[in-house]
């Protein structure tokens, strides 16, 4: 069935699954899963153990998994994380769908959360096809204006070429950048993760993808900068600390 969504907002059950009274058990589940993963236990069996223990629903389990990392990963990612002032005069490489979909979700009051490693994430997915929503243009402008204020020397976006409509989105970004005189290059790649990792020595990376963060020399949580500047009323769920 074609995707008919006009927003990347909340799942119908999110107001119940992630209500304030659910947060203590979800934070405990994140801490317990992190304990198991930090000691070498397999992710799938550990998530089942923790999820069954707390009787978590599937969408809650998805969040717990994405919000969790090992203690070693947490420390390493904290060491390579940079603040927004660090990108002045520096090239920046962006994991395109990763950043854009998080901002779209937040602007449509969807589920966005700060993970244990300090990165903002969502549990949306393009499933092989990207469809623009009503918040897409606002999200692109918010990202662009935030970047412009931070003054990077150049910005390169990477999008997954196999994803349907990625070419249209890439051209949309090129047109926007040309109209605003923003120093953007927009690239379609078969494997954006590897393209970003290959540039880790010369550029600051923007992504919340675990693989990219584990290889980054420097990474910027740009989504947090964008939302703080352009949607200060939006409150993400916070799993940045231990239960």
Residue 195 · residue 222 · CB < 8 Å: no
State the average pLDDT over residues 148-164: 96
In which order are the strands placed within the sheet that holds 120-122? 120-122, 112-114, 237-238
Dist CA 90 CA 162 (whole Å):
29
**pLDDT band, residue 124 (cuts 50/70/90):** confident
User: What's the pTM?
Assistant: 0.93
Dist CA 221 CA 236 (whole Å):
14
Q: pLDDT tens, 12-42? A: 899 999 999 999 999 999 999 999 999 999 9
Q: What is the pLDDT of residue 2?
A: 39
Find the Cα–Cα–Cα–Cα dihedral 187, 129, 193, 42, rounded to 10°: 180
Q: What is the pLDDT of residue 11?
A: 83
Domains of the chain, CATH where assigned: 80-110+126-234 (3.40.50.1010)
The residue among 71, 83, 65, 67 whose CA lies nearest residue 40 is 71
Residue 81 · residue 115 · CB < 8 Å: no
DSSP 133: -
pLDDT at residue 3 greater than cutoff 70: no
**No. of helices (H) and no. of strands (E), the chain:** 11, 7
Read off φ and ψ for residue 128, nearest 5 degrees: 85, -10
Radius of gyration of the chain measured on its C-alpha atoms: 18
Helix extents (H) in the chain: 14-17, 23-38, 43-54, 58-67, 71-80, 96-107, 136-150, 166-180, 192-198, 210-215, 222-230
Find the Cα–Cα–Cα–Cα dihedral 113, 118, 120, 123, rounded to 10°: -60
């Amino acid at each position: 069935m074609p995707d008919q969504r006009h927003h990347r907002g909340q799942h119908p059950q999110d107001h119940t699954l992630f209500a304030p009274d659910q947060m203590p058990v979800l934070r405990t589940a994140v801490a317990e899963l992190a304990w198991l993963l930090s000691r070498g236990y397999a992710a799938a069996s550990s998530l089942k153990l923790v999820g069954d223990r707390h009787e978590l629903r599937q969408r809650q389990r998805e969040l717990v998994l994405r919000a969790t990392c090992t203690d070693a990963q947490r420390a390493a990612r904290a060491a390579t994380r940079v603040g927004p002032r660090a990108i002045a005069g520096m090239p920046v490489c962006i994991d395109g769908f990763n950043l854009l979909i998080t901002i779209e979700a937040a602007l449509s009051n969807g589920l966005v959360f700060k993970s244990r490693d300090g990165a903002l994430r969502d549990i949306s997915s393009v499933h092989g096809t990207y469809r623009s929503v009503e918040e897409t243009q606002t999200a692109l402008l918010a990202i662009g204006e935030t970047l412009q204020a931070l003054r990077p020397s150049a910005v390169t976006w990477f999008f997954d070429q196999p994803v349907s409509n990625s070419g249209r989105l890439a051209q949309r970004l090129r047109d926007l950048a040309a109209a605003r005189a923003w120093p953007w290059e927009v690239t379609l790649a078969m494997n954006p993760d590897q393209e970003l990792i290959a540039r880790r020595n010369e550029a600051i990376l923007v992504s919340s993808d675990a693989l990219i963060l584990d290889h980054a020399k420097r990474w910027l949580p740009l989504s947090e900068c964008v939302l703080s500047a352009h949607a200060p009323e939006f409150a993400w769920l916070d799993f940045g600390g231990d239960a």
